[in-house]
């Protein structure tokens, strides 16, 4: 967990490119961690854009191509996780 903590305090950006079996780029994922917030942006082969943002209290799952989003509060996530696996918990 030290690695994750140092990333949050210092802020970082990581870009990952995924390739299919033919060697063509399938999607690009950009992960940013700064000021206790996590953001992941993805662009797939059809230029569909999406973002996933977590600030410790809520998740925003945005489809930037369709201009839509969903907000999920931490309490809802914890309640759902507790039903699926009572020993698991968000930290």
Query: Which residue, among 56, 52, 55, 49, has the nearest Cα to 39 in the 3D structure?
Result: 52
Q: What is the mean pLDDT for each group of 10 consecutive residues in the chain (91 residues)? A: 39 81 84 84 83 87 88 82 62 50
pTM of the model as a whole: 0.63
pLDDT at site 78: 77
Quote the pLDDT of residue 2: 26
At residue 88, the pLDDT reads: 54
How far is it, in rounded angstroms, from Cα 28 to Cα 49? 10
* Beta bridge mates, 68: 63
Q: What pLDDT shows up at residue 15?
A: 83
DSSP string, the chain: -HHHHHHHHH-EEEEEEEE-TTS-EEEEEEEEEETTEEEEEEEETT--EEEEEE-SSEEEEEETTTTEEEEEEHHHHHHHHHHH-TT----
What is the rounded distance in angstroms from the CA atom of residue 3 to the CA atom of residue 6?
5
């Amino acid at each position: 967990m030290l690695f994750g903590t140092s990333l949050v305090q210092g802020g970082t950006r990581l870009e990952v490119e995924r390739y299919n079996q033919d060697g063509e780029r399938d999607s690009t994922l950009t992960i940013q961690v700064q000021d206790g917030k996590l953001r992941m942006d993805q662009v797939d082969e059809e230029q569909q854009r999406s973002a996933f943002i977590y600030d410790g209290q809520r998740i925003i799952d945005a489809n930037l191509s369709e201009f839509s989003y969903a907000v999920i509060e931490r309490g809802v996530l914890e309640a759902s996780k507790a039903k699926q696996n009572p020993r698991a918990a968000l930290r």
